[in-house]
Structure 1
Amino acid sequence: MAPIIRRPRKPLSRLRVTAVVSAAAVLALAGCSKPVEKQADIRPVRAVVLAADNIDVVAEFPGEVRARVESRLGFRIAGKIVGRKVDAGTEVKRGQLLMQLDPQDLKLAQAQASAGLKAAESNRDLAKAELKRYQDLREKNFVSQAILDSKETTFKAAQASYDQALAGYRNQSNQAGYASLVSDVDGVVTGVDAEVGQVVGAGTPVLRVAQAGEKEIVIAIPEDKVDVLRKVTDVKVRTWANPTDVIPGILRELSPVADPATRTYAAKVSIPDASAERIKLGMTGYVTFSAKSQNAMLKLPLAALFNDKGATSVWVVENGGVKLVPVQVAGSSGNEILVAGGVTPGQTVVTAGVNQLKPGQKVKILASEPSARMDNRVAADTTKASAVAASAGDAK
C-alpha cells in the first residue's frame, strides 16, 4: 500500500485576513446600532386667518368706447356715387357735404317737371279767362247756365292739373337735392361703406357718423350677474390708456335678451363727464361695479383654492398639520373669492403652496395676517412661497 503524502497548507494572506476581520466588525456594529428615525416632512407655506367683514363686491368688465348716437347715413334715392368728400376720422359740421351722386338724370327729370308745370299753368290761365268771359255773358243773358257750369268745371280741372304739376315739380326738385348727402349733426365719420363709382340703392348705408357729445362704453355681462349689477349705483370707468383716471359712469341700458352667440347681456354705461381729451372713440375701457355686501362674508385669495376631484376646497391648518375642507364659492371681489360656507372666521387657511400638500401634512407657516386682504404684496408673497416650497421639495 502506497503511503499518503500530505502537503502543508499555505498560510492565508494578510489582505484576506484583514477583509474578514473588517466584515465581522461591521456586522457586529450593525447588530448593536439603533435604526435611524425618519425626519418629518415639514412644508413651508403662507396662510391667513379668516375674518368676516362687509366686503366690497366688485365686478369689472372690458368694453369699447362708443358715441351714444351713431347713425348710418345713406342716400334717399338710387344712383351712382361720383364724389366722396370725407374720410374715416374726419370731423364734420352740420350741413357739410359728405358724398354726391351723379345728378344728370335728376336734372333732366326736374326740367321735365318744370315744363309740365308751365303747361298746366297755361291751361289753367286759359280756363280762368274763359270762365270770366262766360260769367259776363251770363249776366247779360247771352249764354245759358249750362254753358257757364261747363266752363266752371273746365277751370276746376285745369286748376287741379296745375296743382298736380306743381307738386310733381317740387318733388322732383327735392329728388335733385337728394343727390347730395350732407351731415345733419356735428360729429365724426367713423366708417366709410361705399366708394366713388359704386351704384347704390335708396337707403343703402354709405357712411357712419358718430354724433358729438355724450359717450358710453358697451360691455357684456354674464347672465349670473345681471340681477345683482342692475341694482349697483357705484359705477366707475377707466381706460386702458390712462388707468389712473377714474370717471363716474351710469348704467343707462341693459339688454333684456341674451346674445345668442355669447349668452351674455349687452349693457351700455354712459359717461356724462367724459371730455374729448379724456375719452376718445374706440378706446378700450373698463367698467367697475362696486357695492357693500349686506351680510358679513369671508374672502380668500384665489391662490388658496384647491381642486379636489371636481370640488373646490382649501387647506385648513390645525395642530401644525393641514386638512382639506370643501367650500362653497359665493362670488368674487376683485382678485379675491367670496366664501359662503365650509370655513369659519378664525380658521387659518393656506394661501401659497397648496399644490405641495397632502392630508395630515405638517407645515411651517412663513407668514400670517389677521385677515385675507389681497393686494400686490400678497401676490408677490404667493409666488415667493411657491418657490420656497418647490425648493424644499427638491432638497428633500
Structure 2
Amino acid sequence: MLRHALFVSLIVLLAACGNGEPVEQSIRPAMVVQPQPATEMMDAYAGEVRARLEPELAFRIGGKVARRLVEVGDQVRKDQPLAELDPQDVRLQLEAMRAQVAAAEANLQLVRAERDRYKTLLARQLVSRSQYDNAENLYRSGEARLKQVRAEFDVASNQAGYAVLRASQDGVIARRMVEVGQVVAAGQTVFILAADGEREVSISLPEQAFERFKVGQPVAVELWSQPDRRFPGRIREISPAADSQSRTFAARVAFSAGKVPAELGQSARVFIAHNGEVPLSVPLSALTAEQGQPYVWVVDPRDSTLKRTPVRVGAYAESSVPVLEGLQASDWVIAAGVQVLREGQRVRPVDRANRTVKLAAKE
C-alpha cells in the first residue's frame, strides 16, 4: 500500500509540472564594465582638477587692508565685494578735489563776469582791444581749469570705489594671498578666483619625454572619486618653459565630453598613449576560454541578453588583459561570474556598487 501511495503521488506531481505552463526564471544581476584603453600602453600623470579661467584679483590702488569679506572655498557672484582697503586717504583726496572743483567754478564765474564787463566797455570804446583780449584769455583759462579739476575729481571718485575689491565674475575663491592689516601695492594679487564653467586637469610633463606631447593630443582622464570611468580629453596647452625647480612643463588637459562630474581640487590621473594605437583592455575576471579560444560575455543593450564573443588578447597584466580584436569601446562586458553564464541568458546589468546600469543601444 505504501509503494502504491508513493507511485500515485509521483504521478500527480509530474502531472502538475507538465501542465504546459513555462517555468519563470529569475533575472540575475551581473556586473558590467566597458573596455578601457590598456594602461600598460599608456603613461599616467597625476593631476588636479582646476578651473579653465583663474583670474588673479587685485586692488587698483595701494593701501592697508581693512576688511576681508570672503574665505577660501566661498562661492561668489559677479561684482560681490571681497575685501576693502582703509578708505581714509582716498576720502580725503576726494574731498580735496571736490574743494578744487568748487574753487574753479567760483573763479570761472568771476572771470566770466569780468570778460562780459570788458566786452560792454569795448563796445563803448572805453577800454582798449588788448585789455578785452586779456579778460577773454583769463576766462578761457578759468574754463580749462574747471574741466581739468573735474576730470581729476572723477579720477579721485573712481579711486574711492577701487578701495573695494569686487569679483570679476561668478566663481569660487581658490586662494587668498593677504591678511587684514597688510599693506598692499596696486596690482598685488589678493585672491585667485576659480571661475564657474569649464573644468580642466593641471598636470606636469617630464622634460625627458617632452617631444612626445603636443597641443590637441587625445588623452584619457580618470578621477580619483570614479576609478572605474575614463573620460576623453585633450591637451589644451603646454607651458613653453620648464619649471626652474621641478624641471617639468606645466600642461592643461581639457575634457572632450560635455559635462563631467569633476569638482575643484579633485585628484585625477591623465593617461597619455605611447606612439601607435592603444588596444582596449578588460578585467581578468571578464575573460574565460573554451578549447583554447578566449572569449567574453557581451550584453546586448536592446534586451540585456548575453552573447559569447571570441576575442584575441595580448600579454596578461596584473589585473587586466589587453584585447587586440573582438571588442569595441562601446560594448558592455560581464566582469565577474562568467563561468556560470550561458548564451542568450538575460541579466540585469549593475555596476560595482550594485546600481542598475542603463545600457545605451547602438546606433
TM-score in same-fold range (> 0.5): yes
Counterpart for residue 279 of structure 1: 262
2:134 equivalent to 1:150? yes
1:1-396 equivalences in 2 (<5 Å):
57-230=41-214, 233-271=217-255, 273=257, 275=259, 278-290=261-273, 293=276, 371-374=314-317, 376=319
Q: Would the alpha carbon gap of residues 231 and 75 (structure 1) be closer, same or farther in structure 2, given more than 3 Å must change?
A: closer
Contact 2:61 2:159 in 1 (8 A): yes
Q: Report deviation, 1:370.
A: 8.1
**Kept after mapping to 2: 8 A contact 1:215/1:274:** no
Deviation per CA, 1:200-227: give whole Å up to 9, x if none.
Answer: 2222222221111112111122234322
SS in 2 for 1:249: strand
Cα distance in 2 between the residues matched to 1:266 and 1:160: 54
How many residues get paired?
A: 254
Q: What is the distance in 1 between the residues matched to 2:249 and 2:78?
A: 35
After the TM superposition, list the runs of 4 or more consecutive aligned residues in structure 1 that deviate by more than 6 angstroms: none
Is the Cα–Cα contact under 8 Å of residues 64 and 184 in structure 2 kept in the other structure? yes
Structure 2 vs 1, CA of residues 213 and 223 (structure 1 numbering), >3 Å: closer, same or farther? same
Which amino acid in 2 is paired with 1:374? A
Q: 1:70 to 1:167 in 2, by over 3 A?
A: same
Q: Call closer, same or farther: CA 1:231–1:99 in 2, change over 3 Å.
A: closer
Q: Which has the larger radius of gyration?
A: 1
Matched residue SS, 1:89? coil
TM-score, normalising length: structure 2: 0.63
DSSP 3-state at the match of 2:179 = coil
Once the two structures are TM-superposed, the CA of residue 158 in structure 1 deviates from its matched residue by 0.8
Q: CA deviation at 1:95?
A: 0.6
Structure 1 distance, partners of 2:314, 2:221, is 29
Shift in CA distance, 207/233, structure 1 to aligned 2, threshold 3 Å: closer
Deviation digits for residues 335-381 of structure 1 (CA, Å, limit 9, x no counterpart): xxxxxxxxxxxxxxxxxxxxxxxxxxxxxxxxxx9852435267xxx
Inter-partner Cα distance in structure 2 for 1:220 and 1:115: 57
Q: Distance in 2 between the 1:267 and 1:143 partners?
A: 80
Percent of counterpart pairs with the same letter? Answer: 36
Q: Is the 8 A contact 2:216 2:236 kept in 1?
A: no
Gaps of 5+ in 1: 1-54, 300-332, 335-368, 379-396
CA-CA distance at 1:238 after TM superposition = 1.6
Shift of 1:84: 1.4
- In the TM superposition, residue 292 of structure 1 has moved relative to its aligned partner by 6.4
Deviation of 1:233 after TM superposition, in Å, equals 3.5
Is the Cα–Cα contact under 8 Å of residues 215 and 238 in structure 2 kept in the other structure? no
**Aligned residue identity for 2:170:** D
Q: Please list every run of 5 or more consecutive structure 2 residues that lacks an aligned counterpart in the other structure.
A: 1-38, 282-311, 322-363
Please give the TM-score of this superposition, normalised by the length of structure 1: 0.58
SS of the residue corresponding to residue 188 of structure 1 reads: strand
8 Å contact from structure 1 (residues 90, 188) kept in 2: yes
> Which residue does the alignment assign to 1:354?
none
Q: Against the structure 1 CA distance between its residues 231 and 293, is the aligned structure 2 distance closer, same or farther, given a 3 Å change threshold?
A: farther
CA distance in 2, matches of 1:82, 1:150: 51
Q: Which amino acid aligns with 1:162?
A: L
1:219-243 CA-partner distances (Å, limit 9, x unpaired): 1222343222327743111211112
2:131 counterpart letter in structure 1: I
Aligned match of 1:11: none
The equivalent residue for 2:23 is none
Separation in structure 1 between the aligned mates of residue 81 and residue 129 of structure 2, nearest angstrom: 59
AA at the equivalent of 2:250 = A
2:68–2:82 contact (8 Å) kept in structure 1: yes
Distance in 2 of aligned mates of 1:251 and 1:268: 6
- 1:76 Cα deviation from its structure 2 partner: 1.8
- C-alpha change, 1:285 and 1:149, in structure 2 (3 Å) is same
Secondary structure of residue in 1 paired with 2:265: coil
1-structure distance, mates of 2:215, 2:163? 49
Q: Does the 8 Å CA contact 2:54/2:193 hold for their aligned counterparts?
A: yes
Shift of 1:119: 0.4
Residue in structure 2 matched with residue 343 of structure 1 by the alignment: none
Root-mean-square deviation (CA, aligned residues, Å) is 3.0
8 A Cα contact 1:72 1:205, kept in partner: yes
Distance in 2 between the 1:370 and 1:270 partners?
31
CA distance in 1, matches of 2:137, 2:261: 71
Query: What is the letter of the counterpart of residue 287 of structure 1?
Result: V
- Shift in CA distance, 377/265, structure 1 to aligned 2, threshold 3 Å: closer
